[in-house]
Amino acid sequence: MKAAGSKMKKNLFPLLLLAGLALLPLVLESNYFLHLMILFLLWVVIGSSWNLLAGFTGQVSFGHAAFFGVGAYTAGLLFHHLQISPWWGMALGGVFAFLVGLPFGAICFPLRGAYFALASLALGEGIRHIATIAESFTGGMVGIMIMPTFVSKVPYYYITLFLASLSVLSIQLIMRSKPGYYFISIREDQDAAASLGVNTTLYKNVSLAISAFWTGMAGALYMNYMGFIDPHVVFSLHDYSVMAILVAIVGGVGTVYGPTVGAFIMVAFQELFRTGFFGLFAFLGKATGVAAVTALGDAVKKAHVLGFGILVIVVILYLPNGVVGDWEKIKRNVFRIHPAK
Amino acid sequence: MDVFLQTLVAGFLKGGLYALIGIGMTLIMGVMGIINLAHGQLMMLAMYVTFVLNTMGVDPYVSLFVAMPLLFLLGVTIQKFLLNPLIRVETILPENQVLMTVGIGMVLTEIVRFAFKSDYKYVTTEYSNRTFSLGNISFSVPLTIAFGIALLFTLAMFWFLLKTDLGRSIRATAQDKDAATLMGVNTGRITVITFGIGSALVAAAGCLLAPVYYIFPDIGGPFTSKAFIITILGGLGSTVGAIFGGVTLGLAESMGATYFGMEYEDIVGLTIFILVLLFLPGGFKRLTKV
């Protein structure tokens, strides 16, 4: 009875969260917070799809910016060359990312471990160079600019929410089905999986295809929302390939909701720093009249990426399976501290 | 023909520096079995050390003696306190140490961005733009000096690895960690020292490159990718291979830049890298057996 109850609770929580997120724009009218929420949801999609390939299938990719960028460029180029609404690019962005994923997989999947990681990194960087060089087609470093469809952020918010919940749901469903178990068997021991009759190459490609598809969709949505892309923005190794990894690591690699938590932590943490703890330092500085506090606040504002980087190092050191993966550990340690008080 | 020779010389000189970057990376790879994705960032740090010293009037080649010990200490600290604790930890992904180096690289970049802002810095010396010529081929003075010093360091490194006790211990650890431990080698200490040496070597490359390159916080990333391209080309863990890999990459890049155009410089390196991964896994080590 208790087990059934806790299972109910487990299923209910994401639904409640989703309902809460769906109602959010009704109470929250600030464009600033909606923008942050859109970024958060976008990172949910990217982090979750990276996690499917790396966390569940064990193929640590350093090239996910390739899929993100291809998705974004699909939407942008459709409008740029054919004057087709970039929203059609959303449907196609995922498909094109999937198509790019095919040769990507063909090149990388014969390799294992660190070699796979490096090959994916090189491919991701290679695509960025190609996008920069093929100026007549992609506009090169000039980039592509489109007019956003909606003035309000609310429609974008709902579209991103829809995309994020769909991608997380799909990953959850896959992981509960047969292919999901194949993925995990490949991660745990590829040779053992192959000897038991799992077609490892096929399932690695399936995992990559789903992962690339959602990342491409996220890229196309980014194009629609931001209205401007250039190769250095959307194919960026550090801003997307690496950030996708860090988001998943902080939240918990190999857990369905880990990247969601990680995305929230990443966006919240960076914003907390960027605003100087929402003006707390500036306020304290004014209140106490100490110039050093204000100066500290200004320093903190500039260190938003640094802060997140340090958080990542601390998390890898002390919570190697991420916040969700090591949740039991966190709970245990917190409980151990409390009775002592 | 002159153009070809000129390209060859330029590529070769650059290759010497690349070899220095690659040797550090391949040592770390061989001993710890991890790819250090913060390698370029360590070099960037050394370039900033050179820059700061240069504003105080210190010659870039003198700052070698400051940057190398500093980076050695930093490398030792990183290995001891950030990477070694991860060995004992059970995780889902075995690549946790590699991911940690990504985090370290990011933090190093951001610390430098925080301290120096993002704009380009230059280390200007009187010989930065000076050249001399042999026949019709012109040699850049700073690059030639850099090549010479890089060669010196490489030879010193070989002597160290082949002739000294510590060097032998490092090679033993790289070949078989368990056997080395049984023979009384303190492998924990060896990993720490190796990371320090790797960092010091890449620091040397940073100092040598500083007079001919512009310096900005994000310069680490591209050089990290160059470092692992070199290492894969040469074969993971092979010191001789790293030299071949470095020179090959240098030549390929300058050929690409001359015959295809500047913007193809990086793509040539990446293409070679992927071709080697596919058709010659194990790199040049497979051919030379060293």
| Amino acid at site B220 | G
Q: Are the beta carbons of A117 and B92 separated by less than 8 Å?
A: no
Closest residue in chain B to residue A184, using alpha carbons only:
B92
Q: Which residues of B touch A (CB under 8 A)?
A: 34-35, 82, 85-86, 89-96, 98-100, 102-104, 106-107, 109-111, 113-114, 218, 221, 225, 228-229, 232, 263-264, 266-267, 270-271, 273-274, 277-278, 281
pLDDT band, very low/low/confident/very high, at B196 (cuts 50, 70, 90): very high
Question: Do residue A312 and residue B103 have CB atoms under 8 angstroms apart?
Answer: yes
- Type and span of the H or E element at B115: helix B96-116
Please name the member of B85, B92, B95 whose beta carbon is closest to the beta carbon of A321: B92
d(CA A60, CA B34): 14
Predicted pLDDT at B214 = 86
Q: Which of B103, B218, B267 comes nearest A313 by C-beta?
A: B103
Which residues, in sequence order, are CB contacts of A127 under 8 Å at separation 6+? A63, A66, A69, A70, A100, A235
Q: Mind listing the pLDDT tens digit for each residue in B68-96? A: 999 999 999 999 988 888 877 777 777 78
In tens digits, chain A (341 residues) has pLDDT values of 444 555 556 677 778 888 888 878 778 778 888 889 999 999 999 999 999 999 899 898 999 999 999 999 998 888 888 888 878 888 889 999 999 999 999 888 888 877 888 889 888 888 888 888 887 788 777 888 888 777 788 888 999 999 999 999 999 999 999 999 999 999 988 899 999 988 989 999 999 999 999 999 999 999 989 888 888 888 888 788 888 988 998 998 888 889 999 999 999 888 888 887 777 777 777 777 777 777 777 777 778 888 888 888 888 888 888 888 888 888 787 766 554 44
What pLDDT is recorded for position A204? 93
Residues of chain A with pLDDT > 70, as a percent, come to: 95
Residue A159 counted as domain residue: yes
Mark yes or no for CB contact A117/B106 under 8 Å: no
| Distance in angstroms (rounded) separating the CA atoms of residues B80 and B100 | 13
Model pLDDT, residue A102 = 92
Domain that holds residue A185: 31-262
Q: Does residue B28 carry a pLDDT above 50?
A: yes
Task: Output the pLDDT for position B177.
Answer: 85
- Position A341 scores a pLDDT of 40
B204, B156 in Cβ contact below 8 A?
no
User: Chain A partners of B228 at a C-beta cutoff of 8 Å?
Assistant: 118, 121
- Give the whole-number percent of chain B exceeding pLDDT 90: 20
pLDDT tier at B194 (50, 70, 90 boundaries)?
Answer: very high
Q: Do A126 and B110 touch (CB under 8 A)?
A: no
Distance from CA of A242 to the nearest CA of B (A): 8
Residues B187, A195: Cα–Cα separation, whole Å: 35
**Of B186, B56, B172, B44, whose CA–CA distance to B116 is shortest?**
B44
User: pLDDT at position A335, please?
Assistant: 65
Yes or no, beta carbons of B225 and A125 under 8 Å apart: yes
B contacts of A54 (beta carbons < 8 Å)? 93
Q: What pLDDT score does B43 carry?
A: 93
Q: How many domains does chain A have?
A: 1
Q: Is pLDDT above 60 for B289?
A: no
**Nearest residue, CB atoms, A122 vs list B86, B221, B270:** B270
Contact A132 B263 (CB under 8 A): yes
Looking at residue A338, its pLDDT comes to: 54
Tell me if A213 is assigned to some domain: yes
Output the six-digit token pair for B199.
């960092």
ipTM for this model: 0.82
Decide if pLDDT at B116 tops 50: yes
B117, HSE (Cβ side, Cα atoms, 13 Å): 3
What ranges do the domains of chain B cover?
2-288
A9 within some domain: no
Does A198 reside within a domain?
yes
The CB density around residue A330, as the number of other CB atoms within 10 Å, is 13
Whether A25 is in a domain gets the answer: no
Which chain A residue is nearest to residue B90, measuring alpha carbons?
A: A320
Q: Answer whether residue A125 is part of any domain.
A: yes
Tell me which chain B residues have a C-beta less than 8 angstroms from the C-beta of A110: 278
Q: Does residue B41 surpass a pLDDT of 90? A: yes
Any domain includes A282: no
Question: Residue A6: what pLDDT?
Answer: 57
Fold entry, domain B2-288 = ABC transporter involved in vitamin B12 uptake, BtuC (1.10.3470)
